Amino acid sequence: MSLSNNNEKMSIGRFISETVASPTRIPFVVVIAVILIFQLMNPTFLSYQGLVTLVYSMSYFLIAACGLTFVVMMGSFDFSSISVMKFSALLCVLYIDDFGLWIIPITLLCCAIIGFVSGFLVAKLGVPSFMATLGISIVVDGISLLMSKGFLHLMEHEGFRSISTTFIAGIPSVFHWSIAIWVLCAVLAATTPFGRRTYAIGGNARAAVLSGINLDSQRIQVFMLSGLLAGAAGVFYMSQLGGGSVEIGGQMMIPLFASVVAGGTSLRGGTGGPQNTLLGVIIITWIQSGLRMMGTGMETQMVILGLIAIGMSIATTDRNKFRRVIVK
Amino acid sequence: MTERTLTPILDVRNVCKSFGKVYALEDVSLKIFPSEIVGVVGENGAGKTTLMKSLVGIHVPEKGEWYDKGVKAAFPKDPKDAAKKGISIVYQERGVVPSLQVYQFLFLGNEEKYVGAFGLQIPRMKKAAQEIIDEFHIKCDIEDFMFELPLSTQKMVEIARAVVNIRLEQNKQDADSVIILDEPTAPLNIEERHELLNEIVRLKANCSFVFVTHIMQEVMEYMDRVIVLRDGRQVGEYDMATNKVTENELVRMILGKDIDGQEKIQRIPSRVDNSETVLSSKELSKRGSYYNISFDLSKGECLGVLGSAGSGKSELIETIAGINGYDEGDLLIRGKSTKNHELPYARLKKGVGYFSGEIANELFYDWPITKNISILNIEKIVTKIFHFLNFKTEKTLAADISKQLRIKTPNVNITVSSLSGGNKQKVTVGKWLEKKPDILLLEDPTIGIDVGAREDIYETILNMKEQGISMILVSDDPKEYSALCDRVLMMQQGKAQKIISKEELKEVLQT
């Protein structure tokens, strides 16, 4: 009896040590832990109503995170995602009366152009992506404020709202949209020359150049994709919530980065991918919603999310590689 | 000199070290006497690095004895402990902190020895540094920044730092020291190489050296003794003064077989088609680098650009590759003028590829062989519709290449970082072999790899040439020119001296 018990302990011990050693397994384990912990603390977490809340909170976030993942894979940063998302949401609500549903392609185009500007600054003018996109985010925030004058605007166009809020198979359609976009992104990253080139630049930019990759054009394209997807996230956000002001999305940029990193896309570039980002998004947004469902205050949420962001980057960093660099 | 009768400074016997089931070192013994330079040679993976790391406490061997003046002692636990025992290592690269001044760098990590009541005693540090610079005859000022110094001087400062480290650790000015140099000359050009080696020979008065190298000429000219490792075993030891060993014997000992490569290479015919000019440079100039360079490159020809560092040869080849631009003149590819500041991807579309032996510029370390080869040949592995990647084609492609080039690997999904140096280099050659550009620019194609793998790579390059690929070669190894080139352009201080034939080159190299 004691022997078998001992064996079991051994295998659990081995499971833990293997999990810690392989960063790819950690996100799965954390997702399960998050579900278990919140379910224990709050039995309505996995109820139908709870699930709908979780789905709403993660869907638009997943779309923006997929876009950001491409930039991070390439070894760059995009700090403008949330600002672009906000801008896109406000553009929709302010001009839907003038353009009807045509506002959607117009908005997406505008957001892709913002991405193009970031990419141009990074690729052609050599501005570090950190600075370029941070600058762009402030500019875009200013424009959003100018457009909305700080008021709360309500979306009254039923057709627009139904994009996200139609229930299909018991789940709001925004989930189906976001999963479809996620699959497209994963396919783009893993099975196309575009994806391969993005990984290449993140892995070894000089080798990428000597392998005949047009570095500038590829970088601009990736920033445009990030802008486009951030814009799409804004469209879905507005159609799901039905209103918003310049305040939306407040402190979301860091959780967005955290979800990309938590999935296993290293900020050093060249690894991970959108396929991993789904789990990261689930971890970050479900913790956030779980806390909110239990009525945890905003300040506590911020502390916990910040710690989770740091914890997940510790957990998903391949430290063997790091050590190798130091020792030799 | 009568060192042989002295007690050795370093005396290790029967060192064994294994990684998993593989023996990296098996019964290797090493004695270092005062004032000598001992070369350690062997193929990549022969156990040189493992031996060095065992001596400085990075690896701890499973078996083996360490004798300290005849008394049995323990192996060092870590590099600090090794310094206490009088051994320190200078790594091949990344050893220098470029932003520090010489005196700061010399005492880096030992600052606590110079702390007074009011913080660091800078004047005392500077005085001590000046004494060391004088003792080692290093041509620099103690307030120079490390990045300002030539590479060979940087290496000298690193060596001095290793000695300082030992002295401070033992708290003795005249401590016996053994400095391990891991391929110190690899990043240097020919002149710097000789300068460094001459300095090291002079330093024998102060300390002994263990010298890991791939360059046989260095062993022949500068070492006192040489130890040959093969597959983790010590297969030979030669005293260079008494035991006249030839370079060929040494190479045979390293490889464990005769090199047939030389002959095989000479049998590959050169098919230069002088009627077809693929690239011509007309009065090409780049201020500060090279001036009025003109030449024509024929189909299937290999043109070498020979010159010392600063002759502008590297800048010239980089201009042709599209890495940097030119100021005046014209560069024609297949008779068509090119735009200045065209980037490498644009040149590659016109059929000009650039292959550098610096694998850090060529490889994606975390990627498997398959991806490393296909990244350059992406158009060959996409599906007809939608241009998705076809993973099956990708794998066949990589498998073909690794079979052709005899890359030693269980399969092609292995990440390249786990391959040995020679095999890594073969992967980089492999992707160009598949690409088949019209013109291939080679810069130091075999830098840092061992003799055996080098012959294989020459063979591949010459086979590509035979198929009609034109080449331009720039190298720091004169032998590379006679092995690969049909004609050689001699450059000096940015100016083209003359173009000579292969036969004339042989005479130039002999004198």
Of A197, A211, A327, the CB nearest to B58: A327
Task: For residue A216, list chain B residues with Cβ-Cβ distance below 8 A.
Answer: 343
Short-list B98, B84, B249, B69, CA closest to B171:
B84
pTM: 0.79
Alpha-carbon gap, residue B228 to B407, rounded angstroms: 24
Q: Are strands A167-168 and A243-244 parallel, antiparallel or unpaired?
A: unpaired
Q: What is the pLDDT of residues A188-208, one digit of tens each?
A: 999 999 999 999 999 999 899
| Residue A21 binned pLDDT confidence (cut-offs 50, 70, 90) | low
Other beta carbons within 10 Å of B392:
9
Of A211, A214, A216, the CB nearest to B375: A211
Cα distance from N-terminal residue to C-terminal residue, chain A: 48
Could you tell me the two tokens for A30? 């954390």
Could you tell me the two tokens for B429? 């050659």
Which residues lie below 8 Å from residue B490, measured CB to CB, with a gap of 6+? B306, B307, B496, B497, B498, B499, B500, B508
Alpha-carbon gap, residue A87 to A248, rounded angstroms: 10
Backbone angles phi, psi at B499, to 5 degrees: -110, 125
Residues in chain B, pLDDT under 70: 1-5, 20-22, 94, 257-264, 510-511
> Which residues on adjacent β-strands are paired with residue B442?
B355, B473
Q: What is the pLDDT of residues B53-101, one digit of tens each?
A: 888 888 888 888 888 777 788 888 888 888 888 888 888 776 788 888 8
Sheet-wide strand order for B495-501:
B336-337, B328-333, B273-286, B290-299, B495-501, B487-492, B302-306, B470-474, B439-443, B352-356
pLDDT at residue A17, rounded to an integer: 67
Closest residue in A to B343 (Cα–Cα) = A214
Nearest 10 degrees: Cα torsion B171, B175, B180, B184: 90
Task: For residue B375, list chain A residues with Cβ-Cβ distance below 8 A.
Answer: 196, 200, 208, 211, 213
Alpha-carbon gap, residue B30 to B8, rounded angstroms: 10
pLDDT at residue B409, rounded to an integer: 80
Domain boundaries, chain A: 50-247
Contact A84/A114 with Cβ under 8 angstroms? Answer: yes
Other beta carbons within 10 Å of A10:
10
Contact B460/B405 with Cβ under 8 angstroms? Answer: yes
Cα distance from N-terminal residue to C-terminal residue, chain B: 32
Short-list B490, B473, B491, B477, CA closest to B297:
B473
Q: What is the pLDDT of residues A241-252, one digit of tens each?
A: 888 877 776 678
Backbone angles phi, psi at A208, to 5 degrees: -65, -45
Alpha-carbon gap, residue A279 to A12, rounded angstroms: 23
> Has the ipTM of the complex gone over 0.85?
no
pLDDT at residue A324, rounded to an integer: 39
Chain B residues in contact with chain A using a Cβ-Cβ cutoff of 8 Å: 58, 91, 94, 321, 343-346, 348-349, 354, 356, 360-367, 371, 374-376, 378, 382, 387-389, 391, 431
Q: What is the pLDDT of residues A298-326, one digit of tens each?
A: 888 888 888 888 887 787 776 555 443 33
Backbone angles phi, psi at B273, to 5 degrees: -105, 95
The residue type at B440: L
Instruction: Mark yes or no for CB contact B366/A193 under 8 Å.
Output: no
Q: What is the pLDDT of residues B265-289, one digit of tens each?
A: 777 777 788 888 899 899 999 988 8
Q: Give the gyration radius of chain B's Cα atoms.
A: 25
Q: Are strands B71-73 and B273-286 parallel, antiparallel or unpaired?
A: unpaired
